[in-house]
Amino acid sequence: MAARNTRLMRCTPDDLFAVLSDGWLYPVWVVGAARMRDVDPEWPREGSRIHHSLGVWPVMIHDETEIVEWDPPRLLRLRPQAGILGRGVIRIDARAHEHGTAVTIVEEPVSGAASILPRLLWKPLLVLRNHECLNRLAFLAEGRRDEREARELDHRTETPDPREGTASPQARADVREAGI
């Protein structure tokens, strides 16, 4: 049985899929993904891939994740592949809920090191990891909702001049101390 997590997010399914459609955001919400190397121009079309790395420098494993099924705003199926760690399958389901969107992530290793370990070892680790993945994904998707709502309410015609802002006293002190 696969590792399964569900979380209620205060956003629409479209907000969630807007985040998932940006391959460059993958390491922001996926625990363990350290950096992006490339995103296929066709992303998020089925068969397209994102290329990222796992680990901490200098020990990095090059990974790629392929979209197996893309059915916004309801379903995303992915197949990550991470060298000797093997391949996995991930399904993300989104269902509209009266308070936002219920999002479920289901993951299971299908080959490599993780797949030969007993389920008692890998399943709790994936549940913990995916709990944090959903928290990060919610942060991004809910932020899109907040941004969208702010644009709908904002009737200003001028963009503020960034030079009119004021840095905090501590930030100014740090810059002076560093001499840069």
Domain chopping of the chain, boundaries: 3-154
> Each residue of 42-66: pLDDT tens digit?
999 999 999 999 988 888 899 999 9
The packing angle between helices 119-153 and 13-20, to 10°, is: 110
Mean pLDDT of 28-48: 95
**Structure confidence by residue, pLDDT tens digits, 70-101:** 999 999 999 999 877 888 999 999 999 999 99
pTM of the model: 0.80
Q: 3-154 — its CATH code?
A: 3.30.530.20
